[in-house]
Structures are given as structure tokens and as C-alpha cells.
């Protein structure tokens, strides 16, 4: 059963751990907000239940102790201090390690003794359960975990006037027939009430697969002392510990009630409730699909799109009405299908960004710096395969920004900056790319320092140093083994490992660049392809060759008179809707044959990158098409302004233009 539900367990565990992480960060800033505590409690509670059901006892044990501390905070018996939140974060780290171990095929085992001890130390003094327990004279650990069904049984038993006991029975070490003693204990308990659960399970007890003690949970109308007395009446029983669980079960029941809305149900809320009820079935319709299956689906669909293009070409040549109508219908259907498949593969970058606030918090503490992380555009979507790869390099760049970029509070105040530094992490779409920007307001990078180091390492000569632009100088940071840091730390090094970061992004078809200004800060800009293998393009022709310009980069197309061209700073420009737009002649960029049509007009494709625009001058505009993006292979990885190629309906190959490379 476990393997059947393992994937679901792992996915949901990671979601709950992320939720606990996020809400703990919020709780640190708003310790009085009960709704945040409720959210953390809910996630921890669900995680505990799932872990226990799947048999991961260490996971369940640790989350159970976290729950106890959260309960204290919720009941205002403890404050969510930074120290408590630190321990909670450490607990979350251990839980993540256990979940990772399970995902890697392990059993999720981890020694959590010290963490549990720390959580219990926080818990001391509060424990309603402990005070209740003292009435039964002996105290045993609440190690038993109950699933939803067992909880329901216990709660209903309480309502019917029964008491709940957890009993630990210790057999004499000389007991010869342990299974027989177990049978006699169960017989006595059966007379006193009903056994709800045992640990180990009954079949293991029957097979004597336990040491000398076992736990049972019993409902009974008799007192704990009476039950204990009866069990001790059995021979070869060394000791019996009885603990009332009544308060514990009641507290659990109250927790459930507290999580429900407690205000009077207004009409508005009733309507909301109705909506929630209506929405519930939608949630149940969601399924999780292995990414490999989506890859196969995408590959098959790519073939379909190429064939569709071919069919469109043939129907256009034959001019058969029925064939044309059929192909048009097929095009509409495949268009819808394409949108669905692509959407299935897209995920918001939020799934990567979510891990950073916690990391920044820890780094700030370790380095005694004050850092505010601002995240913008977390909803920007990227292909799942890219999302999986960009996490580690982004971690490296962020650590780098904080370690070497952001100054200490004293250093910042000395130069008139606020004590708290800011790191802005933003993502946005532009054309057929996603840009991720890491911008800090720290000390910036010294151009001179970088140049001196590059000359010393024989990467460039002194003559080269005079001619390099700032962008080219800062690009030297990505050379293997390059570092300008006076002291290399284990946090990061500006240069130490940046070559690995660049390689990772480049392997994804991305580009990373750096801009920096002393005392103002630095910006790492990462350009990533959407890698959607099927894209909408505008086919254009220049010099007798066809090129595809991604539709997402195009603002509009236009025809302008040659007389409307001007020169500014040595470049041809036009006044387009009151804005000066530089022109890029595609035939010059790709060195295609110049064909003079004798016309007085230019065909333009106006493209955009961020807030910059440019006009691509082409011979003619062919029209909009869906194309399958194909890589140029390993031998043509750095062709300027070309991001791939495609096969058109007539079998001809067209190159796909990278508009972002053409806008300076």
C-alpha cells in the first residue's frame, strides 16, 4: 500500500513543509497573528497524520512534538520568540531531510532525539496532558499516533461516557510464553472495556515479535487504577503504566473545532460555504502526472504539428474545398490541444523562489547583516524542466549578493545608506524568454579590482583591459577559478563557482550578465528560454531566406516609406508613434543577398525587450505560423541572434530569430 501512495505522500509532504516554512517566516514578523499559527498547526497536523499512516515514525514523532509547542503558542502560553522559531526551523530541516531520504528510497529514519528534547524543554510547564497524567501517578510518553478513524472512535467513546487509557505493559524478562501473557492481558482488557489499538500490532504480538513491553489504547468505564490492578494480577507481568488520554483526546477535538470559523455564520459566509462545497469536487478531479509522460506526449505532438504544416501546404496547393475545410478544422483542434499540453508543463517560478526567504533569514543571522528580500513576479511561468534546474544556481547568486554585495549595518550607515540592505529577486516574461533578475543595493563590484585580478591571472593583457566595456569586465567574474574576494568564505565567493553557475544556465540555453556600480549595487540578469518546443511566430523573408520571429516579442508590424528614415548616432531610426525606434536590417545581421525590389517602402517588425523597442527591416512579411522549435545541435551553439530552427510545411528549414539579442 505504501508504494502505491508514496508519490502522493512525497508531493503533499513537500507542500506542507513549504507551507510551514513560509508561515514560520511570517510568524516571526507577526507573532500575534493567530491565523498564521493555525496554518502552521494545520500543516504539521496533516503531515503527522500522513507520516503515521505511512509508517514513518520518526517523522510523525517530530511533528507531534512540534504540534505541542505550536499548541502552546496558539493558547498564548508561550510567545513565538526567535529562539523558538529557530528550533522549529531546525525541526523543519530534519523533516525535509527525512522526506528527501524517503524520496531517495530510504526509510526516512533520523535521530531526532536532541530536537525532540529541545521541543519538550519549550513545552515544559504548560502541559495540560502532563498535569492530567499526574493523576494516574505514573507517566509514560505519548508515543502512540492515531489515524483519523481511531481518533473518531476515541472521540465518540468519550461522548458515550467512556474514558480513554494508554497502557504500557512490561513483561517479566524471564517470561517463557510471551504470546500467552499478551493473550491474557488482552482478555482482561476485553472484560474491562475495548482495545482500540496496540503497538506493536496484534499479529506481531501473537508472533512474539516484540521485546518485553507493548502499548495498548483502551476505552473503558472503569478507573485506570482498577485496570492496572487487574493486569498486575496476571503472572509474569513486571509492571504496568496507565495514563489517561481523556484530556489529550478532548484537546485534539477542541483543536479541530478551533480551526473551524467561530464567528456567527452571516449570509455572506454561508454563500462562501456553499461555494466551497461546490468547489470541492473540482479539487478531487486533479491528478498528478509524471513529467516523463508529458515529455512523450509533447514529442508526439511536435510530430503532429509538423504534419499539420505539411497538410496546410498541400491543401493550399490543391485548392480542394473539402480538404481545406478539413485541414482548417484539424488546425483549430490541434491549436486547442497544443495550448492544453503547453499549459500542463508550465509552473510558476514561485516553486523555486519560495525556498529563498528562509535561506536569506539564516544567512542574515550568520553574517550579522540586515537584509530584506523582495520578490516580484513569482507567478511568472516557466517550463517544468527548467524550473527543476535553476534552483541551485540562483541560490549561489543570492548567497553571493548577500555575502559580498550587502555591507554590514555599520558600513552601510557610514556611507549614508539604511542599515538594512535590499535584495530584489524578480522574474518577468519578455519575448520568447523569461528574465530573472537579482539586484542588490550593496557595495557593488570594483572594475579595477576585477581587471587587476584578470591581468594577474593572465586572462587578459593590460592592452585588452583598456578597451573592455563594463559588461565585458564583469563577465570575467565567470572565468573558472576567478575571485576578487579578499577572504574566501564558505558562504560564497564572487568568482568562486560562478563559472559553474554560468555553465548551468548556458546548458539550459540561457545567458547570465552582470551590471554593477560601486556603492550602488549589482544586478545579475539571467535570460532563460521558455523551451516551449512549439511557438507562435511571424514568418518573414529577407534576401530570399525565411526567418521566424517569435510572436511574443512582436509589438506590431508596419510598412514605412523610405523617406521616413532618419539617422541618429550613426544608426537608422524612425519616428514611430512619437517614439524614436532604431532600425535593424536583418539582411545585414545575417549577411543575406541584397535584393532590391524597387519599392519605396520597408516592411517592419517592431520588437520589444523590456521597455526597449527596435524595428526589424525585412523584405516581406509572410504571416503567422505555429512552428516546432528544434535545437541547432552542439556544433552551432553560439550563432548570433539565432535561437533554433524549424521545419516548415514545404520541408524547408527556417531559422528562428532571437529578438532579445538584436536589442542593445
As annotated, the active-site residues are 45, 67, 400
- Look up residue 82 and give its three cell numbers: 526567535
**C-beta neighbour count of 313 within 10 angstroms:** 16
DSSP alpha helices (H): ranges in 319-383?
Answer: 321-345, 350-353, 356-367
Q: What letter does residue 407 receive in the DSSP assignment?
A: P
- C-alpha neighbours within 13 Å on the C-beta side of residue 41: 21
- C-alpha to C-alpha distance for 478 and 455, rounded to whole angstroms: 15
Q: Tell me the three state secondary structure of residue 523.
A: strand
Q: What are phi and psi of 304, to 5 degrees?
A: -65, -40
Task: For residue 60, give the nearest of 145, 122, 124 by alpha carbon.
Answer: 145
Specify whether the CB–CB gap between 133 and 143 falls below 8 A.
no
Cα separations (Å) of 75 from 61, 128, 394? 21, 11, 39
Query: For the residues of 627-646, what is the DSSP string, one character each?
Result: EE-B---GGGTT-TTEEEEE
Q: In whole angstroms, what separates CA 121 from the centre of its chain?
A: 33
HSE-CB for 486 with a 13 A CA cutoff: 3
Q: How far apart are CA 80 and CA 305, in angstroms?
A: 57
Instruction: Say how many Å lie between the first and final Cα of the chain, rounded.
Output: 58
Please list, in sequence order, all residues whose beta carbon lies within 8 angstroms of the beta carbon of residue 506, skipping any fewer than 6 positions away.
Answer: 512
**Grid coordinates representing 315?**
491543401
Backbone angles phi, psi at 354, to 5 degrees: -60, -25
Q: Are strands 601-609 and 565-568 parallel, antiparallel or unpaired?
A: unpaired
Joined grid coordinates for residue 11: 508531493
- Distance from C-alpha of 82 to C-alpha of 210, rounded to nearest angstrom: 42
Distance CA 65, CA 85 (A): 14
Dihedral (CA of 532, 537, 540, 545) sign: positive
Amino acid at each position: 500500500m505504501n508504494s502505491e501512495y508514496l508519490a502522493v505522500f512525497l508531493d503533499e509532504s513537500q507542500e506542507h513543509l513549504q507551507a510551514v516554512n513560509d508561515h514560520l517566516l511570517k510568524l516571526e514578523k507577526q507573532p500575534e497573528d493567530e491565523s498564521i499559527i493555525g496554518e502552521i498547526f494545520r500543516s504539521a497536523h496533516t503531515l503527522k497524520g500522513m507520516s503515521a499512516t505511512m509508517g514513518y515514525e520518526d517523522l510523525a514523532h517530530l511533528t507531534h512534538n512540534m504540534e505541542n509547542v505550536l499548541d502552546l503558542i496558539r493558547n498564548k502560553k508561550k510567545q513565538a520568540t526567535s529562539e523558538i522559531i529557530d528550533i522549529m526551523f531546525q525541526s523543519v530541516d530534519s523533516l525535509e531531510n527525512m522526506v528527501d531520504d524517503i524520496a531517495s528510497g530510504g526509510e526516512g529514519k533520523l535521530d531526532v532525539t536532541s530536537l525532540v528534547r529541545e521541543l519538550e524543554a519549550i513545552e515544559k510547564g504548560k502541559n495540560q496532558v502532563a498535569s492530567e497524567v499526574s493523576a494516574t501517578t505514573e507517566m509514560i510518553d505519548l508515543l502512540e499516533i492515531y489515524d483519523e478513524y481511531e481518533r473518531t472512535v476515541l472521540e465518540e467513546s468519550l461522548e458515550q461516557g467512556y474514558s480513554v487509557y494508554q497502557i504500557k505493559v512490561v513483561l517479566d524478562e524471564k517470561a517463557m510464553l510471551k504470546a500467552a501473557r499478551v493473550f491474557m492481558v488482552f482478555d482482561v482488557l476485553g472484560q474491562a472495556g475495548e482495545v482500540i489499538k496496540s503497538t506493536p500490532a496484534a499479529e506481531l504480538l501473537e508472533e512474539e515479535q516484540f521485546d518485553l513491553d507493548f502499548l495498548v489504547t483502551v476505552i473503558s468505564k472503569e478507573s485506570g487504577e482498577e485496570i492496572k490492578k487487574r493486569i498486575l494480577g496476571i503472572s509474569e507481568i513486571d509492571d504496568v503504566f496507565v495514563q489517561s488520554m481523556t484530556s489529550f483526546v478532548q484537546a485534539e477535538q477542541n483543536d479541530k473545532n478551533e480551526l473551524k470559523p467561530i464567528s456567527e455564520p452571516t449570509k455572506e459566509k454561508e454563500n462562501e460555504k456553499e461555494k466551497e462545497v461546490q468547489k470541492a469536487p473540482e479539487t478531487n478531479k486533479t491528478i498528478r502526472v509524471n513529467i516523463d509522460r508529458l515529455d512523450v506526449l509533447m514529442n508526439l505532438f511536435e510530430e503532429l504539428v509538423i504534419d499539420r504544416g505539411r497538410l496546410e501546404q498541400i491543401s493550399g496547393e490543391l485548392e480542394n474545398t473539402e480538404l481545406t475545410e478539413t485541414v482548417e478544422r484539424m488546425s483549430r483542434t490541434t491549436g486547442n490541444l497544443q495550448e492544453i499540453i503547453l499549459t500542463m508543463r508550465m509552473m510558476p517560478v514561485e516553486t523555486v523562489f519560495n525556498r529563498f526567504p528562509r535561506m536569506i533569514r539564516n544567512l542574515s543571522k550568520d553574517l550579522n547583516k540586515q537584509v530584506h528580500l523582495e520578490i516580484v513576479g513569482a507567478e511568472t511561468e516557466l517550463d517544468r524542466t527548467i524550473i527543476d534546474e535553476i534552483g541551485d544556481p540562483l541560490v549561489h547568486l543570492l548567497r553571493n549578493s548577500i555575502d559580498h554585495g550587502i555591507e554590514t549595518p555599520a558600513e552601510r550607515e557610514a556611507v549614508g545608506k539604511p542599515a538594512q540592505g535590499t535584495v530584489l529577486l524578480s522574474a518577468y516574461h519578455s519575448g520568447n524568454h523569461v528574465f530573472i533578475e537579482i539586484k542588490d543595493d550593496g557595495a557593488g563590484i570594483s572594475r579595477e579590482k576585477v581587471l587587476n585580478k584578470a591581468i594577474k591571472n593572465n586572462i587578459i593583457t593590460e592592452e585588452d583591459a583598456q578597451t573592455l566595456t563594463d559588461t565585458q569586465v564583469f563577465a570575467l567574474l565567470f572565468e573558472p577559478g576567478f575571485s576578487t574576494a579578499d577572504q574566501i568564505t564558505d558562504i560564497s565567493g564572487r568568482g568562486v563557482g560562478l563559472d559553474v553557475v554560468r555553465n548551468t544556465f548556458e546548458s539550459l540555453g540561457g545567458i547570465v550578465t552582470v551590471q554593477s556600480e560601486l556603492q550602488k549595487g549589482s544586478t545579475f540578469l539571467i535570460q532563460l528560454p521558455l523551451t516551449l518546443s512549439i511557438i507562435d511566430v511571424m514568418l518573414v523573408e529577407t534576401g530570399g531566406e525565411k526567418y521566424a520571429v517569435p510572436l511574443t516579442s512582436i509589438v506590431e508590424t508596419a510598412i514605412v516609406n523610405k523617406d521616413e528614415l532618419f539617422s541618429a548616432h550613426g544608426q537608422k531610426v524612425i519616428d514611430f508613434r512619437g517614439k524614436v525606434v532604431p532600425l535593424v536590417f536583418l539582411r545585414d545581421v545575417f549577411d543575406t543577398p541584397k535584393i532590391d525590389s524597387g519599392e519605396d517602402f520597408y516592411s517592419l517588425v517592431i520588437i520589444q525587450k523590456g521597455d526597449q523597442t527596435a524595428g526589424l527591416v525585412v523584405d516581406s512579411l509572410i504571416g503567422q505560423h505555429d512552428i516546432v522549435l528544434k535545437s541547432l545541435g552542439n556544433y552551432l551553439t553560439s550563432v548570433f541572434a539565432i535561437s533554433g530552427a524549424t521545419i516548415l510545411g514545404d520541408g524547408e528549414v527556417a531559422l528562428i530569430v532571437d529578438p532579445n539579442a538584436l536589442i542593445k
